[in-house]
Amino acid sequence: MDVNEVLKLLVAKDVQISELLKQIGTLQDELKKQSLLTEKLQAQLENLLRVLYGKKSEKQQSKHKSEEDNPAADDVDKTTSNNNSKNKPIRKKLPDNLEREIIKYELPEADRICDLCQQICHCIGKEVTEQLEFIPARLYVKEHRRYKYGCRHGCSVKIATMPQQPIPKGIPGPGLLAEILINKYQDALPLYRQSLRFKRHGIDIPETTMCDWVRQTAQLLQPLVKLMQKDLLSVIKIHTDDTPVPVLAKTKTKQGRLWVYVADGITCPCTIYDYTATRSQTAPQHFLAGFKGYLQADAYAGYDKLYATGDIIEVGCMAHVRRKFFEIAESAKGDSIAQDALDRIATIYAIESKCRGMDYKQRYYYRKVYLRDIYRKLRRWLLKKQKIVIPNTPIEKAINYALNHWRALQNVLADGRLEVDNNIAERAVRPVVVGRKNYLFAGSDQGAENAAIIYSIIETAKQNGLNTYEYLADLIAKVPNTKSDNLYTLLPYHYCKGCSNM
């Protein structure tokens, strides 16, 4: 074999090796893609399993060493740990205002003789054991008797007047209407179950009848919600969120939307729900027309036009950022970038818990001293990790989410009345979610609007510490007989039990 043939063989081998190296590179790239896809699918599977069967709490046990740099966070942690060690189950004392039935147990006279000296024993005290009992609710009939008076000469007939009733010519009284509304919209008991409950009390009230009562009562209370909305738009800060609501249509259910707007200040603490048939961006724009202040919300793009004018300032939600890292950390189950992020965010919440009870001006300066630097460090850390994480992975998406909304997240430092997260609005959505699991869907768009009105009244009453049944029963009785100019006195944050509102 001459030299030329050898050179040709070597060139052929080089070409073959080059081709093999290209194939190896292609296979490695494909393997990398498959590994990323597997990791993504595994994370989605574990997240789905956690949602279905795992714990719902996002509380973390681990601590990041960066917290050692912050004495405020350490103080909170020590206090919390000391309090937890003392949390032993203690039976609560039964309220003194409950009616008490006294049952006495006396020793027979024959048993009062002392076994040693045979003298009669005298009473030296008593041992009291309290037992909580229950009397089922009862139905009764209010019989309104309007007496007539006539002239003996046949000139005229007069009859005593009767207050306007919530449902004209209807049989339900204010108490029964309040009970039905509380059962459905606070206790999530569908109307058909209530109908069965009333049958146990010996009265047949069809579900359709109660549905009509709910509609008429919602229309009666609608002016109050309009007044609440006017007050809500005058505050400096509003929390908002939304949740889907299935609505019955001709062929199948459609997806409506229930928006919640919360004012948690001291002037007019209220929670208002607004139903729309779609999740169009025009919904919050229409509801918040004229509002100027801070809007704490999630990252829904539908709010962007509200922020564009400059009248409304966006405030982000740190809980949404934490949730994205939490889902990844649960899948990783160990030290990871996600766990590191959670520990750093935990420092923010530890500092925040320290100043939660302060006046808003004190809270602003406290955050300026302790929290501002923590935010800066977290942002620098996120930027650093963003450069080293693998693209298109859940951890990269979580980091990008935090950085993309960083301006809104740090706006919490601008005013002591703002919160680091939007949990206030998320908690306000919870009653709707619980109710949705029980009554499944609204019968129509009008039915969903009625639900929004009633949820607004009940949740605002709860927010102001009122007994929801007592307030709603009194409200339903007074509204038909109250002038429109005086309706504001019936709002939960102005309500005075026993006051005249004519």
Structure tokens at 405: 């909304």
The pLDDT of residue 249: 82
Whether residue 417 is found in the same domain as residue 453: no
- What's the rounded Cα separation, in Å, for the pair 367 and 276? 38
Cβ neighbours around 77 below 10 Å, total: 17
Whether residue 324 is found in the same domain as residue 413: yes
Residue listed under structure tokens 């919640």: 260
pLDDT tens digit sequence for 190-203: 999 999 999 998 89
Whether residue 365 is found in the same domain as residue 457: no
Whether residue 400 is found in the same domain as residue 459: no
Cβ neighbours around 29 below 10 Å, total: 10
Final residue belonging to a domain, choices 421, 453, 474: 421
As a whole number, the mean pLDDT across the chain is 87
Whether residue 392 is found in the same domain as residue 452: no
Of 147, 162, 81, nearest in space to 477 by CA: 162
The pLDDT of residue 178: 96
Whether residue 453 is found in the same domain as residue 412: no
The pLDDT of residue 84: 54
Could you please report the per-residue DSSP string of 151-218? -TTSS-EEE---PPPSSTT-S--HHHHHHHHHHHHTS---HHHHHHHHHHTT----HHHHHHHHHHHH
Find how far residue 393's CA is from the centre of its chain. 30
The pLDDT of residue 12: 83
- What's the rounded Cα separation, in Å, for the pair 260 and 243? 9
116 — pLDDT class (breaks 50, 70, 90): confident
When mean pLDDT is compared over 109-123, 217-231, 263-277, 292-306, the highest value belongs to 217-231
Whether residue 364 is found in the same domain as residue 448: no
Q: Answer whether residue 349 is part of any domain.
A: yes
Of 398, 411, 232, nearest in space to 317 by CA: 411
The pLDDT of residue 57: 62
Residue 171 has pLDDT above 90, yes or no: yes
pLDDT tens digit sequence for 405-449: 999 999 999 999 999 999 999 999 999 999 998 888 888 999 999
Residue 276 β-bridge partners: 257
Task: For residue 174, count CB atoms less than 10 angstroms from its CB and return exposed for 0-12, middle for 13-18, buried for 19 or more.
Answer: buried
Q: Answer whether residue 242 is part of any domain.
A: no
- What's the rounded Cα separation, in Å, for the pair 305 and 307? 5
The pLDDT of residue 66: 44
Residues 6+ apart with CB under 8 A from 322: 58, 342, 345
Q: Answer whether residue 255 is part of any domain.
A: no
398 and 325 in contact (C-beta within 8 Å)?
A: yes
Residue 206 has pLDDT above 90, yes or no: yes
Averaged pLDDT for residues 90-116? 88
Residue listed under structure tokens 């850390």: 381
pLDDT tens digit sequence for 23-76: 998 899 889 888 878 877 877 787 777 667 666 566 665 454 444 445 554 554
- What's the rounded Cα separation, in Å, for the pair 296 and 421? 8
Give the Å distances, CA to CA, from 415 to 169, 171, 236, 389, 420: 53, 52, 10, 34, 11
Q: Answer whether residue 63 is part of any domain.
A: no
Q: Answer whether residue 140 is part of any domain.
A: no
11 — pLDDT class (breaks 50, 70, 90): confident
Whether residue 395 is found in the same domain as residue 453: no
Pairing of strands 312-315, 293-296: parallel
- What's the rounded Cα separation, in Å, for the pair 456 and 461? 8
Pairing of strands 312-315, 270-276: unpaired
- What's the rounded Cα separation, in Å, for the pair 236 and 265? 9
The pLDDT of residue 86: 57
Q: Answer whether residue 246 is part of any domain.
A: no
Whether residue 339 is found in the same domain as residue 410: yes
Q: Answer whether residue 7 is part of any domain.
A: no
The pLDDT of residue 75: 52
391 — pLDDT class (breaks 50, 70, 90): confident
Structure tokens at 8: 């040709």
Structure tokens at 321: 């950022």
- Total of domains in the chain: 2
Residue numbers of the domain that contains 322: 317-421
Whether residue 170 is found in the same domain as residue 227: yes
Give the Å distances, CA to CA, from 286 to 270, 310, 420, 447, 485: 19, 17, 26, 21, 25
Residue 161 has pLDDT above 50, yes or no: yes
pLDDT tens digit sequence for 261-303: 999 877 889 999 999 999 998 999 999 999 999 999 988 888 9
Whether residue 341 is found in the same domain as residue 411: yes
Q: Answer whether residue 458 is part of any domain.
A: yes
The pLDDT of residue 45: 80
Whether residue 340 is found in the same domain as residue 388: yes
Kindly provide the b/e burial profile for residues 175-214, where b requires at least 16 CB atoms within 10 angstroms of the residue's own CB. Answer: bbbbbbbbbbbbebbebeebbeebeeeeeebeeeebbebb
The pLDDT of residue 461: 96
Averaged pLDDT for residues 354-367? 90
The pLDDT of residue 62: 46
